[in-house]
Amino acid sequence: MVLEFLRQPLRTALQRASELARGSLDTREALVELCGANEEALGEKDVLDDALLRAEVQNNLGAALVMLSQHETNESTQKKLLATALRCLGGALQIRTRSVVPREWAITKTNLALAHLQRYRLVGDQIDIMAGRVDVDLARAMFAEMGLEDEKTWAEAVRRQLLSAGKARS
């Protein structure tokens, strides 16, 4: 089945991420592998005819690139990773719309807020704080409307980080 072929690299990378959580892998190594698995999946254009599946992969890659940027020491590389993450997440939102898949839309909006937070920490542009707050507030409202408490708590934690980062630099 096509989905099984596509998801295998993602499952492998997530398994490595689980090993990372147990402390048996280097963080950067696991994140690089996760990014590679998502990029490999995106490269399979004939396999990714399903737009929602492509958007899921774009969201996963965007989130992984944000995490990878946190472990990168070269500022230029961090900026490139974040620019690519923002493009991936924006692309995912073209398909993961609020009206079609509201939960996935809100997850992607929260990941987008995290990308803005990371770029703010790197560059210091207040626009990233404002954009991140808009994204996470919309996501938080959707999670609340859907009764998704765990996701709402996650969005609230991201919002607190955005507020804290904005105040710390002021």
pLDDT tens figures, 126-159: 999 999 999 999 999 999 999 999 999 999 999 9
How far is the C-alpha of 25 from the C-alpha of 31, rounded, in Å?
10
At residue 100 the predicted structure's pLDDT band, cuts being 50, 70 and 90, is very high
Is pLDDT larger for residue 49 or for residue 155?
Answer: 155
> Residue 15 CB: number of other CB atoms within 10 A?
12
Length of the chain: 170
Q: By percentage, how much of the chain surpasses pLDDT 90?
A: 52
Indicate the number of domains in the chain.
1
pLDDT surpassing 50 at residue 11:
yes
- Residue 47: its pLDDT value, please? 45
pLDDT tens figures, 74-84: 999 999 989 99
Output the CA torsion sign for 96, 37, 67, 87.
negative
- Residue 135: its pLDDT value, please? 98
- Residue 1: its pLDDT value, please? 32
CATH number of the domain enclosing 163: 1.25.40
Q: By percentage, how much of the chain surpasses pLDDT 70?
A: 70
How far is the C-alpha of 62 from the C-alpha of 80, rounded, in Å?
12
pLDDT surpassing 60 at residue 44:
no
- Residue 4: its pLDDT value, please? 46
- Residue 26: its pLDDT value, please? 58
Range of the domain at 84: 2-169
If 0-12 CB within 10 Å is exposed, 13-18 middle and 19+ buried, where does residue 11 land? Answer: exposed
- Residue 71: its pLDDT value, please? 86
Specify the pTM: 0.78
